Structure 1
Amino acid sequence: MQTHWKRTFAIIFSGQIFSILTSSMVQFSIIWHLTETTHSAVVLTIAGLIAFLPQALLGPFIGVWLDRLNRKLTMIAADSAIALFSLVLGLYFYWGEPSVAFVCFILAVRSIASAFHAPSFQAAIPLIAPADQLTRVAGWQQMVMSAANIIGPALGIAVYSAASLGVVLLLDVAGALIANLMLSLIKIRQPKPESLEAPRYFQELKLGWRAFIQVKAIVVITAAAAVFSVAFMPLATLFPFMTLSHFERGGYSASVVEAVFSAGMIIGGTLLSVAASKRKDIAYVSSSLIVIGATCAASGLLGKEAFIVFVVLSFMMGAASPFFNGPYMAMIQRAYDPMMLGRVISLVTSVMLLASPIGLLLAGPVVDRYGVQSWFLGAGIVTALTGIFLLVQMKNLDIQERQGS
């Protein structure tokens, strides 16, 4: 049994890395294509919102269906839908140039399918791995995602430049097929419903919400995670701006920062998978926020000549990130009944996704008025204080989590 679940995850992740890699290639290539063809910031903003808003808005409502449906088949169906519409758009490029509206439609469909796939995968993990190994599995997942997200944009732009966006989209079809083939080779037990009565959608939706709020530890940490997302998520777009405007360096330096941050995430995921059971998950979560906050705030205090220090701090931020994401998801997977996990994970995912545009709306005026380094400093202070708050509350949160699990 001890090696069986590890072998199962080896098969799953070996397929998922192809799917995540090719999806990353497509997302970057589509944005690059729109940049080249429209030269419009408005179009890029709209495309970015379309790429994640359906997933964010539909998440809580889709969760009910995720808990009713077979999770393995749901993942396969969602990946197949993404592959189908990638194929349609890819073929369209061979016939002619698709309109921006059609490209945005494809992005929306991919986002809807992702709203089914990602929570189904997370909800399936505790059905395969032992409870005391969930944090280790989260570390493996962070490694796979980080590696794919580093290689994806570079590989995507290389294929796009050498061939076309159509070829990138066809590779995405291949990636989905490989992921589905690997999933078909493993067995995931489906949790049995508590009753055989005909399901009532809104009643089940309310049950999922009530289950979520009953575990006070998860509610508090989710609220803290929302604050963290509002403060930190805008940095995804501000890192290049920090390099260009504050340090007065070019695109090569900006790409180095991105690569170093992602490399830190890979190493952080590796360390998490090794050290998973040595500390409580809430200790990892709070410590991660403190480190991210301290390095972010320090970045905001750097002078123009300290670019190398910024690179080092970016690596530390990246390395600390998996220690928040992985243990937080493992706590959720342990705290709730498998029959409720789809609803809870979809709800939490939506909270995180909706926090991002709020942060961007706040960051824009602040950066324009006070400079990009001011947001790094302010976001770092808010993040560190959030981590300190969770650290102080650690004992109470841990007791409440055990009661809820």
Structure 2
Amino acid sequence: MHMQWKRTFALIFSGQIFSILTSAMVQFSVIWHLTEATGSASVLMIAGLAGFLPQAVLGPFIGVWLDRWNRKLTMMIADTVIAVSSLVLGLFYLWGEPSLWVVYAVLLIRSAASAFHAPSFQAAIPLIAPEEQLTRVAGWHQLVFSASGILGPALGIAVYSATSLGTVLLLDVLGALIANVMLLMVRIDQPKPEVVETPSFGKEFVLGWKTFLSAKPIVIITIAMAVFSVAFMPLSMLFPLMTLSHFGRGGYSASLIEAVFGAGMILGGGLLSVLASKWRDSTYMSISLFVIGVTCVLCGLIGSSAFAAFVGLSFFMGAAAPLFNGPYMAMIQKSYDPEKLGRVLSFVTSIGLLSSPIGLALAGPVVDRFGVQIWFFWAGIIVVLIGVFLFLKFNKSGQEQQSLE
């Protein structure tokens, strides 16, 4: 039994890394194409809104049904929809340059499918791994994302430069196919419904909300995460613009930044896997936010000739990210029963994603008027303050430990 769950995750992750890798190639290539073609922060922010908003709107409703659906099948269907959308946009680019509205529409569809895939995957993890291994598995998950974060931009810009954006998008279809084949080879048991009769949508929605509110430390951290998302999430769209507009460099330099960020995430994910359970989950999260905030502030202060410093800061920012994401997800998985976890994860994901469009809407005009560095600097200040707040809150009250006992 001990080895069985590890073999299951090996199969799942070996498939997902292809899907995540090709998606990372697509994500970077689309952002760089829009950056190079328009040079507009507002265009990038609209693209970001198209990528975030459907997940935020659909998330709470998906959670109601997710706890009753087959989670493996849900992941496979979502991956297929993402692949088809990549195929459609890829054909558009192979035939010519589509309008921005076509790009936004395809990003909306991909986002809607991701709204089903991400929570179903996270909700399936406690059905496979023992509870005491959830933080360690979260570290593995971060490693998969981090490896893709290194290779994806480099491969994406190489294929984009040698061929076209359409070719990059078509490779995403292959990645989704491999992921689905691997999922077909594993078994994921569906949890038994909490009640025999089928309750109404409204009752299940309210039940999911009440379940989420029952773990007070999760509520506090989720609110902090929402504020963090407003400040930090626009940076995911602004890194290429920083490379282009502030440092005057091209696509390969932009992919280098993404690669070192991903390398840092691999280091952070590895440390999390090794040091899991040494400290409280909330302590890891506080350290993560403090390091991310400080590096953002420094990015907002460096001169246009200090690209090497920007590379180093991106590495440490990436290394700090898994120390928040992994423990946060593990803390949620420990705090709720598996039959209710899908709804809770959808609520949590939606709160973060509903916050992100606020930041994206604000960042576009601010960056177009005052420059990209101003957002890095003030985002960093806000993130540092959030990290200090969480550290003081949980070290004084011990709420996190009480919620998990």
C-alpha contact (below 8 Å) 2:290/2:388 kept by paired residues:
yes
C-alpha contact (below 8 Å) 1:216/1:397 kept by paired residues:
no
C-alpha contact (below 8 Å) 2:286/2:324 kept by paired residues:
yes
Give per-residue Cα distances to partners, 1:46-101, cap 9 Å, x unaligned: 44322321112111111111111011111112112222343444456667776654
1:324 aligns with 324
2:78 aligns with 78
> 1:250 and 2:249 equivalent?
yes
2:106 aligns with 106
2:296 aligns with 296
Over 3 Å counting, the alpha-carbon distance change for 1:215 and 1:300 in structure 2 is: same
1:7 aligns with 7
C-alpha contact (below 8 Å) 1:336/1:404 kept by paired residues:
no
* Cα distance in 2, alignment partners of residues 102 and 310 from structure 1: 33
1:181 aligns with 181
* Range with greater deviation from structure 2 (84-93 or 201-210): 84-93
Q: How many residues align?
A: 404
* Range with greater deviation from structure 2 (136-145 or 151-160): 151-160
Over 3 Å counting, the alpha-carbon distance change for 1:86 and 1:374 in structure 2 is: closer
Q: CA deviation at 1:308?
A: 3.5
1:23 aligns with 23
1:233 aligns with 233
C-alpha contact (below 8 Å) 1:16/1:179 kept by paired residues:
yes
Q: CA deviation at 1:181?
A: 1.2
Over 3 Å counting, the alpha-carbon distance change for 1:61 and 1:305 in structure 2 is: same
AA at the equivalent of 2:176 = A
Give per-residue Cα distances to partners, 1:187-230, cap 9 Å, x unaligned: 11211012111221111011101111110000000111111122
C-alpha contact (below 8 Å) 1:335/1:401 kept by paired residues:
no
Over 3 Å counting, the alpha-carbon distance change for 1:88 and 1:308 in structure 2 is: closer
* Range with greater deviation from structure 2 (92-101 or 274-283): 92-101
Among all aligned residue pairs of Structure 1 and Structure 2, give the percentage whose two residues are the same amino acid. 67
1:58 aligns with 58
Question: Could you say what the CA RMSD is over the residues aligned between the two structures, in angstroms?
Answer: 2.8
* Cα distance in 1, alignment partners of residues 28 and 362 from structure 2: 25
Q: CA deviation at 1:250?
A: 2.4
C-alpha contact (below 8 Å) 2:192/2:339 kept by paired residues:
yes
> 1:360 and 2:363 equivalent?
no
Over 3 Å counting, the alpha-carbon distance change for 1:271 and 1:329 in structure 2 is: same
Q: CA deviation at 1:352?
A: 1.5
Q: CA deviation at 1:167?
A: 3.5
Q: Which runs of 5+ in 1 are unaligned?
A: none
* Cα distance in 1, alignment partners of residues 71 and 182 from structure 2: 15
Over 3 Å counting, the alpha-carbon distance change for 1:43 and 1:393 in structure 2 is: closer
AA at the equivalent of 1:276 = A
* Cα distance in 2, alignment partners of residues 113 and 381 from structure 1: 34
Over 3 Å counting, the alpha-carbon distance change for 1:52 and 1:42 in structure 2 is: same
1:376 aligns with 376
* Cα distance in 2, alignment partners of residues 211 and 201 from structure 1: 15
**1:277 alignment partner, SS class:** coil
C-alpha contact (below 8 Å) 2:149/2:261 kept by paired residues:
no
> 1:156 and 2:159 equivalent?
no
Give per-residue Cα distances to partners, 1:25-46, cap 9 Å, x unaligned: 2334445566677888766554
Over 3 Å counting, the alpha-carbon distance change for 1:79 and 1:245 in structure 2 is: closer
* Cα distance in 2, alignment partners of residues 265 and 91 from structure 1: 33
Over 3 Å counting, the alpha-carbon distance change for 1:270 and 1:230 in structure 2 is: same
AA at the equivalent of 1:221 = I
Q: CA deviation at 1:11?
A: 0.8
Give per-residue Cα distances to partners, 1:283-318, cap 9 Å, x unaligned: 101111112222322333445555433432222111
* Cα distance in 1, alignment partners of residues 307 and 166 from structure 2: 38
TM-score, normalising length: structure 1: 0.89
AA at the equivalent of 1:316 = F
1:134 aligns with 134
Over 3 Å counting, the alpha-carbon distance change for 1:199 and 1:286 in structure 2 is: same
* Cα distance in 2, alignment partners of residues 101 and 128 from structure 1: 41
**2:196 alignment partner, SS class:** coil
> 1:218 and 2:241 equivalent?
no
* Cα distance in 1, alignment partners of residues 80 and 337 from structure 2: 28
AA at the equivalent of 1:71 = R
Q: CA deviation at 1:279?
A: 1.5
2:335 aligns with 335
* Range with greater deviation from structure 2 (216-225 or 154-163): 154-163
